Amino acid sequence: MGTPLAESLTPSCGKFFDLLGIRAEIDAAGFVRTTGNTVWWGPGEPRVEMFADAGAGWQVTSTALERVMSLAAEQAGARVERAVLTPDGSSSRPATIRLDCSGRAGLLARHCAGRRLEEGHRTVSLSAVWEGTEGWGLAEPSHTILESYADGWAWSVPLDRTRRAVAVMVDPRTTSMRRGDGAGATYLAEIHKTRQLRELLSHAQLTSGPAGWDASMYSSAAYAGDGWLVVGDAASFVDPLSSAGVKKALASGWLAAIVAHTSLVNSGMAATARQFFADREAEVYANFLALTRGFLGSAAQGHSHPFWSERAEAGEQDAVRAAADRERVAVEAAFDRIKAAPELVTCRGPEAQIERRAAIGGNEIVLEPRVITPGDGVGVRFLHDVDVVALVELAPTVRQVPDLFAAYERRAGPVDLRGFLTALATAVARRWLDLC
């Protein structure tokens, strides 16, 4: 049967299960529900991180999740053909649009997309299954466990009440690994470098594995072309540290389906839809790369080793944090100005334009209005669940914030007041609106 590849799914994956109409099948599959993470990371104190709003995620194996989703697709009417294909073989099949969802294998991606390994993120995972006592002596036995050590990091997720998948993440170039005695000896030597997991496993038995797989980060030079899209892990792969790989793949697959549908029903929007998909994939990868480097950087402060220093770009993270701090200060200052003004007298900022850009509209890619400023060709439509296009258009027509709030709700529907005020202050801070 082999060693299962374990995956930790955050509660936010639930919205995609709902979109796909498979929530009942997921709930019936018997996956372990998890309430968060237990973390021993870098120089900081141990942390128990619970999901927000008492949410619960899922601990799964990739094969079990694939089986549930495949069966649900067939029951919904999809025709599934199982065949071993080469890139030439798949290209020879007639199709209006091809979606490469073949994961790291990248059946078409390696030939069409220009796969690019992320420098400094060469990672190999060695994973095994351990059998232990129920609860494992953990305060939160459902949790994903994360632990950094001198030249690598380790994680563990429960498969059921007595079994846990435990993996070590190493870099063959920099991690000082035991070599020449087989994968088992190498794996156990890495486990021995940990403190918390080593203690956790001291009374457990290794029952399967270890199995190795490439966990290096990569992206694509092109995510879409004439008649094709690369989707999910075929398009890019983010560090397992994010616990967001499955969510990213679900989001990518959902968007790819919308783009494919658009291409089939509205050929005039096909190129726009493909570009929208490509831009979104590139943005998602860049965001996850920045988040991963930030988390790795926090461990680098406690481990002086090339494994960590190569992965942590402190200068880049400092710049991101500084930009976020500047925005926060500007928004707070704008809010204070709005409160202090006897009237809300606004006009459109001199460089803010409202133009139509590609967006998701139901099950198609459509053109919708967005606030556009120099240097931001994509623009913004929503902030804090507030339609900023409506906000920017309505603000100059009223003289008081309560009147603007009422006018906005008449046009766009109910909205949280705190989110509305934050969006208004952000619009002033970014000079979409000027206080005249």
* pLDDT for position 315: 44
Q: In the chain, what percentage of residues exceed pLDDT 70?
A: 95
Taking the C-alpha atoms of residue 135 and residue 179, their distance in angstroms, rounded to an integer, is 33
pLDDT, one tens digit per residue, over 277-315 is 999 999 999 988 888 887 777 676 667 667 777 666 544
Taking the C-alpha atoms of residue 337 and residue 268, their distance in angstroms, rounded to an integer, is 46
Q: What is the mean pLDDT of residues 102-114?
A: 90
- Which pair of structure tokens corresponds to residue 395? 């603000």
Answer whether residue 235 shows pLDDT above 80: yes
* pLDDT for position 310: 67
In the chain, domain spans: 314-435
Which pTM was predicted? 0.85
* pLDDT for position 221: 96
pLDDT, one tens digit per residue, over 62-86 is 999 999 999 999 999 998 888 888 8
Give the containing element (helix H, strand E) for 228: strand 228-230
Q: What is the mean pLDDT of residues 147-151?
A: 90
* pLDDT for position 190: 94
For residue 342, how many other CB atoms are within 10 A of its CB? Answer: 7
Taking the C-alpha atoms of residue 169 and residue 163, their distance in angstroms, rounded to an integer, is 20
Q: What is the mean pLDDT of residues 417-434?
A: 95
Least confident of 6-10, 91-95, 109-113, 401-405: 91-95
Report the candidate in 42, 226, 249 with the shortest Cα–Cα distance to residue 147: 42
Sign of CA dihedral 261, 265, 271, 276: negative
Number of helices and strands in the chain (H, E): 14, 22
Answer whether residue 317 shows pLDDT above 60: no
Distances (CA, A) of 109 to 105, 285, 314: 8, 16, 32
* pLDDT for position 175: 84
Answer whether residue 384 shows pLDDT above 80: yes
Q: In the chain, what percentage of residues exceed pLDDT 90?
A: 69
Q: Which residues of 132-154 are buried (b: 16+ CB within 10 A; e: fewer)?
A: beeebeeebbbbbbbbbbebbbb
User: Which residues have a Cβ under 8 Å from the Cβ of 216 and sit 6 or more positions away?
Assistant: 117, 118, 121, 122, 123, 124, 237
Taking the C-alpha atoms of residue 58 and residue 13, their distance in angstroms, rounded to an integer, is 9
Least confident of 55-59, 91-95, 259-263, 301-305: 301-305
Taking the C-alpha atoms of residue 125 and residue 315, their distance in angstroms, rounded to an integer, is 28
Report the candidate in 175, 156, 51, 120 with the shortest Cα–Cα distance to residue 296: 120
Q: Are 135 and 165 in contact (CB under 8 A)?
A: no
Mean pLDDT of the residues in the chain: 90
Q: Which residues of 7-45 are buried (b: 16+ CB within 10 A; e: fewer)?
A: bbbbbebbebbeebebeeebeebebbebbbbbbbbbeee
Q: Side chain identity at 381, as an amino acid letter?
A: R
pLDDT, one tens digit per residue, over 11-67 is 999 999 999 899 999 999 999 999 999 999 887 788 899 999 899 999 999 999 999
Question: 36-40 and 144-149 as β-strands: parallel, antiparallel, unpaired?
Answer: parallel
Q: Are 124 and 292 in contact (CB under 8 A)?
A: no
Q: What is the mean pLDDT of residues 3-8?
A: 85
List strands edge to edge, sheet with 205-214.
47-50, 36-40, 144-149, 152-158, 163-170, 124-131, 205-214
Least confident of 65-79, 170-184, 417-431: 170-184
Taking the C-alpha atoms of residue 36 and residue 8, their distance in angstroms, rounded to an integer, is 10
